[in-house]
């Protein structure tokens, strides 16, 4: 299966180390969400993936082959700074871009009509781009990334500034493209959306990948907490032994959340099961327990945990 491989990228802008050993893969058919705070290095990674910026070291490959001019033509890219000609008509611009990527005039017109229809801007085809609202310009920008039937999609914050309907349209298009076998790499600060849409997520901080995987995998590596609905914590939490690593993190009336600290990855599953049973036993000893559930953290919570953990400074 062809894969987009981001392989050990390093990049500095003068004294600023924008990327350090950035590594991940996006196989065909997968939607990979790239998240990280402002200045973390997302745009830099995507520009290198597209081949418009050279890394200091490392390589980007598609289907085992370094991204060269030929591969670059097969990438659909939505730049962060956007890149449409404001005074050109929507239809002329999209046909022009498709022609640049080698489509015949008939194919280009066909693709322009199809994508403006799918993205809900068909009625604005003859307008200059600058006359469209920002959201509609963004739909045209996505059409521009898609109009040459790219094999790979690299989209820098495609959802920013879109209304909920446009978000749904854009999400539908990305899903459909992924189902057609295209690897989709996109960055976003809208973590709820990333959680809904992505097969895998990469969280970056200071130019380094600090967590990567399916959201379920990130959850299973994250903090372990249980929510208990029963007697108040004051009636049973003191009986949790000091050496158990269990502590109450919140308690409101009958609802108590208990967390397990410092579990080594290897011991995690059995320790987690033991800890859950210990919490339940303690709560039951104090009265009836109406519900007992592991806390499922959202991507926002996982993200906060990961980015607030200090990263190791690599040896100089
Ligand atoms: N052309 C440039 N010259 C100098 N420094 C740059 C340049 N482009 C980016 N940087 C720096 O590199 C780092 C990574 O920036 P990058 O734009 O890749 O981050 P980002 O994750 O895309 O951020 P955002 O979420 O704000 O778009 C930042 O410290 C930024 O200031």
In order along its 316 residues, the chain shows pLDDT tens digits of 899 999 999 999 999 999 999 999 999 999 999 999 999 999 999 999 998 899 999 999 999 999 988 888 899 999 887 788 999 999 999 999 999 999 999 999 999 999 999 999 999 999 999 999 988 999 999 999 999 999 999 999 999 888 898 899 999 999 999 999 999 999 999 999 999 999 999 999 999 999 999 998 888 888 889 999 999 999 999 988 877 889 999 999 999 999 988 665 566 777 888 889 999 999 999 999 999 999 988 999 999 988 887 766 554 4
Enter the DSSP assignment of 183. Answer: -
E runs forming strands in 161-289? 184-187, 200-205, 208-213, 224-229, 246-252, 255-260
> Which of 211, 249, 226 has its CA nearest to residue 297?
226
pLDDT digits (tens, 9 = 90+) for 238-262: 988 877 889 999 999 999 999 988 6
Let me know: does 211 contact 308? Beta carbons within 8 Å.
Answer: no
What whole-number distance in Å separates Cα of residue 142 and Cα of residue 146? 6
Residue 120 phi, psi dihedral angles, 5° rounding: 75, 30
Q: Which atom of ligand 1 is nearest to the CA of 11?
A: 12
Q: Which atom of ligand 1 is nearest to the CA of 47?
A: 18
Q: pTM for this structure?
A: 0.87
What whole-number distance in Å separates Cα of residue 290 and Cα of residue 276? 15
Residue 203 phi, psi dihedral angles, 5° rounding: -105, 125
What whole-number distance in Å separates Cα of residue 66 and Cα of residue 75? 13
Domains and CATH numbers, the chain: 3-218 (3.40.50.300), 223-296 (3.30.70)
What whole-number distance in Å separates Cα of residue 307 and Cα of residue 297? 15
**ipTM, interface predicted TM-score of the complex:** 0.96
Residue 134 phi, psi dihedral angles, 5° rounding: -60, -40
Q: Which atom of ligand 1 is nearest to the CA of 45?
A: 18
Residue to mutate, 18, 42, 207, 208, ligand 1, most ligand atoms under 8 Å from C-beta: 18
Ligand 1 neighbours (beta carbon < 6 A): 13, 16, 18, 36, 38-44, 80
> Which of 178, 29, 62 has its CA nearest to residue 170?
178
Instruction: Measure the CA angle with vertex 46, ends 40 and 49; round to 5°.
Output: 135
């Amino acid at each position: 299966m062809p894969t987009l491989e981001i392989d050990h990228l390093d990049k500095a802008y003068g004294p600023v180390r924008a990327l350090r050993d950035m590594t991940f893969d996006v196989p065909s058919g997968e939607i990979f969400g790239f998240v990280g705070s402002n200045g973390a290095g997302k745009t830099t990674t995507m520009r290198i993936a597209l081949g418009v910026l050279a890394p200091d070291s490392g390589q980007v490959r598609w289907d085992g082959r370094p991204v060269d001019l030929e591969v670059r033509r097969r990438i659909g890219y939505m730049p962060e700074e956007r890149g449409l000609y404001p005074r050109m008509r929507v239809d002329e611009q999209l046909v022009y871009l498709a022609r640049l990527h080698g489509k015949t005039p008939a194919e280009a017109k066909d693709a322009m009509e199809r994508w403006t229809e799918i993205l809900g801007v068909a009625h604005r085809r003859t307008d200059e781009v600058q006359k469209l609202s920002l959201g509609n310009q963004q739909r045209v920008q996505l059409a521009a990334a898609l109009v040459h039937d790219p094999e790979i999609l690299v989209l820098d914050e495609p959802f920013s500034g879109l209304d909920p309907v446009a978000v749904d349209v854009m999400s539908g298009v990305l899903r459909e493209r992924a189902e057609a076998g295209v690897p989709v790499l996109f960055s976003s600060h809208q973590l709820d959306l990333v959680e809904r849409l992505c097969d895998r997520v990469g969280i970056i901080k200071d130019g380094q990948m600090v967590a990567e995987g399916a959201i379920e995998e990130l959850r299973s590596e994250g903090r372990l907490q249980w929510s208990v609905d029963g007697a108040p914590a004051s009636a049973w939490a003191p009986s949790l032994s000091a050496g158990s690593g269990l502590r109450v993190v919140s308690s409101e009336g009958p609802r108590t959340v208990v967390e397990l600290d410092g579990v080594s990855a290897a011991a995690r599953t059995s320790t987690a099961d033991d800890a859950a049973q210990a919490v339940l036993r303690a709560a039951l000893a104090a009265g009836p327990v109406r519900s007992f559930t592991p806390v499922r953290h959202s991507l926002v919570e996982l993200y906060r945990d990961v980015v607030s953990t200090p990263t190791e400074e690599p040896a100089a």
